[in-house]
Structure 1
Amino acid sequence: MAAAFVIALGYGLVAPVLPAFARSFDVSITAATMVVSAFALMRLVFAPATAPLLRSLGEQPVYLAGLLIVAMSTLACAFAQGYWQLLVLRAVGGIGSVMFTVSAMSLLIRISPPAIRGRVSGVYSSSFVLGNIVGPLIGSGLAGLGLRTPFVVYAVALVVATVVVWAALRGSPLADPDATTGNGPGLRAALPVGAYRAVLVTAVVFGWVFAMRVSLLPLYFTDVLHQSTSMAGLALAAYALGDVLVMIPAGRASDRFGRRPFLIGGMAILAVATAALTLTDSTPVALAVTAVAGVGTGLVAPVLQATVADVLYGGRGGTALSTYQMSQDCGVIAGPVIAGAVADRFGFGPAFILTAVLAAIIAAVWVGTAETRGSRGLVADG
């Protein structure tokens, strides 16, 4: 949990300055955004390789190696002398990112007691959100020391996270690769399970929503509502506030009442709030609606992770888990591209409506999907 906070905080340090740093090499806006996309694309490409790594080495070594790869690539970015160096180094960081993301999820699935999966997922998700809130605040201040400084600080933060994970899991019988009797399920075994298929499509849309939040939402406040970039940042903070307020209670409650009510309700709230953005030109109302949308995602995020654990519990890694991560990355990559094209051609309203429709579809998917709470691995159970 501590490492998740440090990782997210460090990511938040570089996120505000990365496009500007790329632009400092006298490249186009499109080229600058490619630096961001390259990180996500490399995560997607390398995700299938994480399953055999986890099977052969276990979660802890893969997690530590992933953190150190991102740390080294980020430190190298601080000393990049040209655009192409920055692009390649940032892409290499994506390899390490997917290594520690999938290994952390695999470890949580394997060691979280089934009775408190939702609670564990709620705390874990909240750690990331809190880091994402604090990181940009610190990063904005560090930017005054130069565009390269946040990369150095992020690299140091990742080394700290590496030490935290190594110290916390050193000698732990739960983290021992031999503590499990087998490997996690493969994609062929998982696909026949309806809940797993629902998890995959939810991951795609949830990745889309995340990308929309950090790409189109700030532009909506600046271009449509004619507000400052500071107000756009406040909108992101309002979204994150709604997110983090409900994550831990939702995860805890899902252990008692089941996963489906929160997945259905959260996606429905997200759909309504996203569509409502198109109906107002009032900035205070738009901020309030944005916070409500954050509540929707806050209900879904920890419960979705708990559902993944319900379905895939019983082994280490596996292609079913890496495919789940790939699905979310696909949404992160496709969301800004497709929704951005819709916004360019038809306006922000249709782009938000499209996102709302996708969220509503996911809510309907879970209406017709069986409850997973209490399972010790639906895939393993057949």
Structure 2
Amino acid sequence: MLLVAAFIIALGFGLIAPILPQYAVSFDVGAAAATIIVSIFAFTRLVFAPVAGSLVGRLGEPKIYVTGVLLVALSTLLCAVVQDYTQLLVARGLGGFGSTMFTISAMALIARLSPEESRGRISGLYAGSFLLGNVAGPVLGTVLAPLGMRIPFVIYGTALIIAALVVYFALGRRRDLDKKADSSANAAKHIEVVTVRQAVASPTYRAALFSGFSYGWLAFGVRNSMIPLFALYVFGQGEGQGVAGISLAIFAIGNGAALLFSGKLTDRIGRKIPVLIGMSILVLSIGAMGFFTSWAGFIICSIIAGFGAGTLGPAQQASVADVIGAGKNGGKALAGFQMCQDLGSIIGPLMAGAIADWWSYQLAFSISAVVGVVGLAAWLLVPRAITPAGEQA
């Protein structure tokens, strides 16, 4: 049921992602201010991640997941009725609290319930559900464009309520998942809690923190803010919205092509090589995107970037799950990883948007690529490939 919910959530997110920065611009603000709308969501995710990780340990994954999805639904419906930029900023920021709740809950469930030998495939399936939604969402958004920019928020908010109901009826009544990891009752059941300090002792986890930051900057921050704004800058208001939607959909298609094999690949050969390959592809394609001003250029760079992200994503997530281990509660360690990814999602749009306003979009995309190189270098320092069992090969 997590896969079904992931598809519904991603469908709605893909619906609003191409128009969100342009929706902000409609309130008479510039590119830098428009990117703040993307960053505020990631910022509230970041500041609430430690709390969300603790709540997962105390109350169990299903309760936190459902509550988080409903909170994002409320935020999204408020975005549909805002009257100025400040109201949009507050409404969108509210959604970040809920987003980190359901994201960490889902990651914790995957780490806790998935067998070690198939963790990469399961991570890939979960990412694939998001992928399908991210493909369909922008396409649907392009079709609905004549209805205006507010209707997609209403549709997304409604979809989130449906997703919350799906998970509640599937997992909400499972008593084996409703555990308080930090309580004495849970200690009696011998459920080990993995702390951030324990996880940081692993070179794999440390590398994942750096690559997670780079991944958040490129695959979430820049993709969801700079690509729609660059499309608006190059093609204008009418055509730019369509190009942005198609570009994000094409990114998702490239992502899906990689996910067809990347989950199985990382289970077979370890995490390091897929991360290095995927990050390299993502860095090169994002760096080149600012130099293309044609439909063909956008499509080529977007599908290649999506392929790189799809190769990188399952291996990176599975590597963190390896550090935690099956049957353990790793909410706080997962929150630490999620915070690094969110930090990249915050700083990326702000820095790139400011550079685009003051200098050029080309420089903004190029500097973003340099950030990706930092994540790449972190994994080069991991001594040997890590197997699905968490042992060095």
TM-score range, shorter chain: 0.7 to 0.9
Summarize deviations over 1:287-341 as a string: whole Å, max 9, x none.
3243222211110011111111111224224322111111111101111222233
TM-score (ref. length: structure 2):
0.85
Give the one of 41, 51, 54 matched to 2:53.
51
| Residue of structure 2 equivalent to 1:358 | 371
Q: Say if 1:183 and 1:318, in contact at 8 Å, map to a contact too.
A: no
More displaced stretch, 200-209 vs 90-99 = 90-99
Q: SS of 1:177's equivalent?
A: coil
Fraction of identical pairs, as percent: 42
Q: What is the correspondence of 1:335-374 to structure 2 with a 5 Å cutoff? A: 335-369=348-382, 370-374=384-388
**Is 1:112 paired with 2:121?**
no
- The one-letter amino acid of 2:366's match is I
Tell me, in whole angstroms, the C-alpha distance in 1 between the residues paired with 2:48 and 2:60.
17
**Is 1:63 paired with 2:65?**
yes
Which runs of 5 or more structure 2 residues have no equivalent in the other structure? 181-185
Give the one of 201, 225, 231 matched to 1:215.
225
Pairwise CA distance, 1:19 = 4.5
Pairwise CA distance, 1:135 = 1.6
- The one-letter amino acid of 2:389's match is S
Q: Say if 1:111 and 1:174, in contact at 8 Å, map to a contact too.
A: no
| Residue of structure 2 equivalent to 1:326 | 339
Q: 1:171 to 1:225 in 2, by over 3 A?
A: closer
Q: What is the correspondence of 1:161-200 to structure 2 with a 5 Å cutoff? A: 161-172=163-174, 175-177=177-179, 181-200=190-209
Q: 1:340 to 1:74 in 2, by over 3 A?
A: closer
| Residue of structure 2 equivalent to 1:309 | 321
Tell me, in whole angstroms, the C-alpha distance in 1 between the residues paired with 2:234 and 2:56.
46
| Residue of structure 2 equivalent to 1:295 | 307
Give the one of 268, 275, 286 matched to 1:274.
286
Q: Say if 1:265 and 1:363, in contact at 8 Å, map to a contact too.
A: no
Tell me, in whole angstroms, the C-alpha distance in 1 between the residues paired with 2:196 and 2:59.
20
Pairwise CA distance, 1:173 = 6.5
Pairwise CA distance, 1:101 = 0.7
Give the one of 228, 233, 237 matched to 2:249.
237
Tell me, in whole angstroms, the C-alpha distance in 1 between the residues paired with 2:289 and 2:83.
42
CA RMSD of aligned residues (A): 2.9
Tell me, in whole angstroms, the C-alpha distance in 2 between the residues paired with 1:88 and 1:221.
26
Q: Say if 2:122 and 2:263, in contact at 8 Å, map to a contact too.
A: yes
Give the one of 239, 262, 279 matched to 2:274.
262
TM-score (ref. length: structure 1):
0.87
Pairwise CA distance, 1:118 = 0.7
Pairwise CA distance, 1:49 = 0.4
Tell me, in whole angstroms, the C-alpha distance in 2 between the residues paired with 1:277 and 1:87.
28
- The one-letter amino acid of 2:214's match is V
- The one-letter amino acid of 1:248's match is L
Q: Say if 1:13 and 1:136, in contact at 8 Å, map to a contact too.
A: yes
Q: What is the correspondence of 1:12-27 to structure 2 with a 5 Å cutoff? A: 12-19=14-21, 21-22=23-24, 26-27=27-28
Summarize deviations over 1:141-171 as a string: whole Å, max 9, x none.
4454454332222222111111111222244
Q: Say if 1:102 and 1:317, in contact at 8 Å, map to a contact too.
A: no
| Residue of structure 2 equivalent to 1:156 | 158
Q: How many residues align?
A: 377
